[in-house]
A and B are shown apart, each in its own frame.
Chain A
Amino acid sequence: DAGVTQSPTHLIKTRGQHVTLRCSPISGHKSVSWYQQVLGQGPQFIFQYYEKEERGRGNFPDRFSARQFPNYSSELNVNALLLGDSALYLCASSWNDRYTGELFFGEGSRLTVL
């Protein structure tokens, strides 16, 4: 069975540009969460979407947005990129939006902002 898949795996952008990261959850999973992992730090929660609705948002500026599609895949968008946005962006899926549903993480999209 396919796990959580993310694309692209690596990308390089310049300051001020926009980026879109994509995530396909495990089949049957209706929840997608996004985390940012800066080098040397633990992952930090950005968003959770469940059944196409935003269920929670972390302490990130409005430059960060996301959406979930009817097939439960998700996109994370970041506008006006800053050097500090360079990080590994992790997507995780779960069958529900509660802690009883285990989070399964993808391998991430590594974003470098120059």
Chain B
Amino acid sequence: AQSVTQPDIHITVSEGASLELRCNYSYGATPYLFWYVQSPGQGLQLLLKYFSGDTLVQGIKGFEAEFKRSQSSFNLRKPSVHWSDAAEYFCAVGEKNTGFQKLVFGTGTRLLVSP
């Protein structure tokens, strides 16, 4: 069974500093990869996704992620964090060849932004 590991439960970053959130997955082949953000009282919003091709993926709100097959990682980055980025971030993988959409999520990383 595939799994997703987000090793950091909480991360605190100063406003304007850079950010990197870690994600590692376990899967037999290259899965579909996603990053979602969940703000308090809100549903999940897709930031970006990787299916194939260029391993550096650009998303919304200035986020990007890089797929590294050798490390089974899909880390999320942002060069300059804004206070509004404080939220919970989830990495997810999509199982291929199931005939339907099934996302397997990590446990999430809560981002705190200090002034």
Chain B, Cβ-Cβ closest to A3: B43
> How many residues of B are counted as interface, with CB atoms below 8 angstroms from the partner's CB atoms?
25
Q: Which listed residue (A4, A45, A50, A101) contacts B43, Cβ 8 A?
A: A4
A43 CB to nearest B CB, Å:
5
Q: Contacting B105 at CB < 8 Å: which of A3, A33, A43, A94?
A: A43
CA distance A58 to B102 in the complex (A): 8
Q: Which residues of A contact B107 (CB under 8 A)?
A: 40-42
Tell me the bound Cα distance from A31 to B45 in angstroms: 17
- Interface pair A107/B101, CB less than 8 Å apart: no
Contact at B90–A103, with CB atoms within 8 Å? no
Interface positions, chain B 90-115, Cβ under 8 Å from A, are 90, 92, 94, 98-108
- Would B44 and A45 count as touching, CB distance under 8 A? no
Among A35, A55, A104, A105, point to the contact of B100 (Cβ < 8 A). A55
Q: Is residue B84 within 8 Å, beta carbon to beta carbon, of the partner chain?
A: no
Give the nearest-CB partner of B96 in chain A.
A99
Interface digits, B36-72 against A, CB 8 Å rule (1 contact, 0 not)? Answer: 1000011111100101000000000000000000000
- Contacts A43-B44, A103-B46, A105-B44 given: A98-B105 contact, CB under 8 Å? no
Cβ-closest chain A residue relative to B103:
A45
Q: Which residues of chain B have a CB within 8 Å of any CB of chain A?
A: 4, 32, 36, 41-46, 49, 51, 90, 92, 94, 98-108
List the 4 shortest-distance A-B pairs measured between CB atoms, nearest first.
Answer: A42-B105, A105-B43, A56-B100, A55-B100
